[in-house]
């Protein structure tokens, strides 16, 4: 077998070998080899280009499909959507195959179609750009704020607008919340009352969450109990059922922990009343409000439409709760101060009125008692003088004169008694004998005057309190016994005292019909206020306990060192 010369294979590919073929020269064969090499290189380059293009297209497709933003490809001339990625479908709330073929203006609110077509034409003609403050309309009709970045490219000989739609809902919400918290802070700084401040706080929480109703509880600084101080959008039966929670309740214990709660009313661990179950409330956010390390309030908001509190709004609600603690504490203190001032003004007015009444009473006593007796005494002396001038002493019967003198003496005695009664009313001399003697005398006088039995069991050591404190206690006892006589319809009064850990404690109990203590507090009873102010001036206090139909006990506590 004869070997094939080099290059014959390539040559045979373009020239058949046979008897009729022309003889090819060596130069022509060299040209064929060179052309073959070029073709092979061109093929290899084309393959590399196609592979690179495929890789580029794959990379683009991956970027297109996995982009964090919605991406649309639209024909620059017709405005029809050619392609859309998964985020675009998510943004619009509809499948991709439904989006493709839509006109770009259909992505936006229909009443602004002309405006959005103009923006698209500008992008197409200028090679792209960025525009904010735009909206897209989802398939369910809701609007979503977006920022659009557009660019223009040529694909397969066609001008295509590449639009990236960024959902700026979170950014707008954050901006809104920043402005809202700033405005809330300004509004709270100008709030004139606790109620107005609480309304501002609740409105801010409802606005941030989109919930339908809620309330703000205040924490009792002494007991830890919760009291609903302001509410909005809640049924009346529900409000009455949840208006107060005792310190040992699950709700109060939860609030004391200071941690927010996001849940549903249906899965609460708390035992719900029938009114709470029937309120139709679903999602619940409970946000304890702190001032420093102390919980001062709790903001509760509820939804009747959603079963969950969206994660997106939780930081905003916690930001509001963190912001309002100081304002609530300040407004609460200012309200308490105003209330105290109003009470003091009322008390001062009452003391002025009582003082004028006492002056009028003393004036009547002097006028009707002393004035009458002194006038009668004066007339009797004048008549006696006249009779003595006419009488012949040596031969006259003096019995009539003696009767007149006795009558004048009786007038003088009555006058002295009137003076003593008035002086005793102003300040009983028995106060000089000590507090125990004074209270015993008061009880005896009270029993004689009213017919109500008075039992006294006192153990007040001499000097237990000072003169000023003793006078204050005398006045407090006077007020208590006067109230028993006027209102209690009692048959007996029990007065006891004891010394407890440096305090002098006096308890006055009656078996009368009792009083509504909460009602007295709400009405700011001036009698009780007067007693409390007298005790407070000595560093003590007065407490009233009563059960309707079972009597009332008033307890006075004064520190033993109170000697002012």
What 3-state class would DSSP assign to 448?
helix
> What tokens were used for 265?
């009313």
**In this structure, what DSSP letter does residue 2 have?**
P
Output the pLDDT for position 320: 87
Starting at the edge strand found earlier in the chain, the sheet holding 70-75 runs 81-84, 70-75, 158-167, 143-155, 128-137
| Domains assigned to the chain | 62-143 (3.30.450.20), 172-339 (3.30.450.40), 433-564 (3.30.565.10)
Output the pLDDT for position 392: 58
Output the pLDDT for position 282: 83
C-alpha to C-alpha distances, 428 to 220, 282, 442, 456, 473, nearest whole angstrom: 42, 68, 10, 19, 13
CA–CA distance, 562 with 176 (Å, rounded to integer): 58
**In this structure, what DSSP letter does residue 432 have?**
G
If you write DSSP's letter for every residue of 109-157 in order, what string do you get? -GGGHHHHHHHHHHHHHHTEEEEEEEEEE-TTS-EEEEEEEEEEEEETT
- pLDDT per 10-residue tile (average), the chain, 564 residues: 43 45 57 76 78 63 75 91 91 92 92 89 84 89 89 85 88 71 79 88 88 92 91 88 90 90 72 69 89 91 85 83 87 83 72 65 68 74 72 61 75 76 71 84 91 90 73 88 90 90 89 83 69 85 90 90 54
Choose among 246, 250, 244: nearest CA to 231: 244
C-alpha to C-alpha distances, 521 to 205, 337, 526, nearest whole angstrom: 32, 16, 10
Output the pLDDT for position 538: 83
Indicate whether this model's pTM tops 0.75.
no
Report the chain's terminal Cα–Cα distance, integer Å.
Answer: 143
Cβ neighbors of 100 (< 8 A, separation 6 or more) are 81, 82, 83, 84
Cβ neighbors of 503 (< 8 A, separation 6 or more) are 540, 557, 558, 559, 560
Cβ neighbors of 29 (< 8 A, separation 6 or more) are 7, 11
CB 475 within 8 A of CB 440: no
Cβ neighbors of 241 (< 8 A, separation 6 or more) are 273, 274, 275, 276
CA–CA distance, 52 with 47 (Å, rounded to integer): 8
Output the pLDDT for position 366: 67
> What tokens were used for 58?
């794959």
72: which strand partners?
A: 84, 163
SS3 of 155-186: ECCEEEEEEEEEECHHHHHHHHHHHHHHHHHH
Output the pLDDT for position 341: 77
> What tokens were used for 403?
């009767």
Output the pLDDT for position 148: 92
Output the pLDDT for position 27: 58
Torsion of CA 515, 521, 523, 527, to 10 degrees: 70
551 half-sphere exposure, CB direction, 13 A CA radius: 12
CA–CA distance, 505 with 221 (Å, rounded to integer): 25
CA–CA distance, 130 with 366 (Å, rounded to integer): 97
Output the pLDDT for position 98: 93
Four-residue CA torsion sign, 401, 407, 413, 416: negative
Cβ neighbors of 375 (< 8 A, separation 6 or more) are none
SS3 of 510-559: ECCCCCCHHHHHHHCCHHHHHHHHHHHHCCCEEEEEEECCCEEEEEEEEE
CB 229 within 8 A of CB 331: no
529 half-sphere exposure, CB direction, 13 A CA radius: 20
Four-residue CA torsion sign, 429, 432, 435, 441: negative
Q: Is 174 exposed, middle or buried (0-12, 13-18, 19+ CB in 10 A)?
A: middle
Choose among 268, 333, 271: nearest CA to 300: 268
558: which strand partners?
A: 504
392 half-sphere exposure, CB direction, 13 A CA radius: 2
């Amino acid at each position: 077998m004869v070997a094939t010369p080099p290059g014959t294979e390539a040559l045979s590919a373009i020239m058949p070998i046979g008897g009729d073929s022309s003889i090819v020269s060596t130069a022509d064969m060299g040209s064929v080899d060179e052309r073959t090499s070029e073709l092979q290189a061109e093929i290899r380059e084309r393959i590399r280009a196609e592979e690179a293009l495929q890789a580029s297209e794959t990379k683009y497709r991956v970027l297109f499909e996995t982009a964090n933003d919605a991406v649309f490809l639209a024909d620059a001339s017709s405005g029809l959507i050619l392609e859309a990625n998964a985020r675009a479908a998510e943004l619009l709330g509809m499948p991709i195959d439904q989006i493709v073929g839509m006109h770009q203006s259909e992505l936006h609110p229909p009443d602004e179609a002309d405006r959005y077509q103009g923006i698209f034409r500008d992008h197409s003609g200028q090679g792209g750009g960025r525009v904010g403050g735009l909206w897209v309309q989802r398939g369910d009709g809701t609007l979503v704020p977006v920022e659009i970045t557009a660019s223009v490219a040529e694909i397969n000989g066609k001008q295509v607008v590449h639009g990236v739609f960024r959902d700026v809902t979170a950014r707008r919400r954050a901006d809104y919340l920043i402005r809202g918290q700033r405005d809330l802070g300004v509004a709270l700084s100008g709030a004139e009352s606790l109620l107005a401040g609480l309304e501002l706080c609740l409105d801010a929480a409802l606005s941030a969450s989109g919930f339908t109703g809620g309330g703000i509880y205040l924490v009792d600084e002494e007991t830890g109990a919760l009291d609903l101080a302001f509410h909005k959008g809640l049924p009346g039966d529900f409000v009455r059922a949840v208006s107060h929670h005792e310190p040992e309740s699950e709700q109060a214990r939860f609030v004391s922990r200071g941690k927010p709660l996001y849940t549903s009313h249906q899965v609460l661990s708390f035992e719900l009343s029938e009114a709470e179950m029937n309120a139709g409330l679903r999602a619940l956010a409970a946000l304890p409000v702190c001032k420093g390390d102390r919980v001062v309030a709790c903001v509760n908001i509820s939804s009747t439409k959603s079963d969950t509190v969206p994660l997106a709004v939780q930081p905003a609600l916690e930001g509001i709760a963190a912001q309002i603690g100081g304002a609530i504490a300040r407004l609460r203190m200012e309200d308490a101060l105003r209330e105290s001032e109003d009470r003091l003004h009322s008390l001062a007015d009452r003391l002025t009125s009582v003082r004028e009444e006492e002056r009028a009473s003393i004036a009547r006593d002097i006028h009707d008692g002393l004035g009458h007796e002194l006038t009668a005494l004066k007339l009797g002396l004048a008549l006696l003088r006249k009779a003595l001038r006419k009488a012949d002493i040596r031969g006259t019967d003096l019995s009539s004169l003696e009767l007149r003198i006795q009558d004048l003496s009786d007038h003088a005695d009555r006058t002295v008694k009137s003076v003593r009664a008035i002086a005793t009313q102003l300040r009983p001399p028995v106060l000089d004998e000590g507090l125990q003697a004074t209270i015993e005398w008061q009880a005896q006088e009270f029993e004689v005057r009213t017919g109500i039995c008075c039992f006294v069991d006192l153990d007040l050591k001499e000097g237990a309190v000072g003169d000023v404190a003793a006078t204050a206690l005398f006045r407090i006892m006077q007020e208590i016994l006067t109230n028993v006589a006027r209102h209690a319809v009692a048959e007996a009064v029990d007065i006891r005292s004891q010394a407890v850990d440096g305090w002098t404690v006096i308890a006055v109990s009656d078996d009368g019909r009792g009083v509504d203590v909460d009602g007295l507090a709400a009405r700011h009873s001036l009698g009780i206020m007067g007693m409390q102010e007298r005790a407070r001036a000595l560093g003590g206090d007065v407490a009233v306990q009563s059960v309707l139909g079972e009597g009332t006990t008033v307890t006075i506590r004064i520190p033993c060192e109170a000697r002012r």
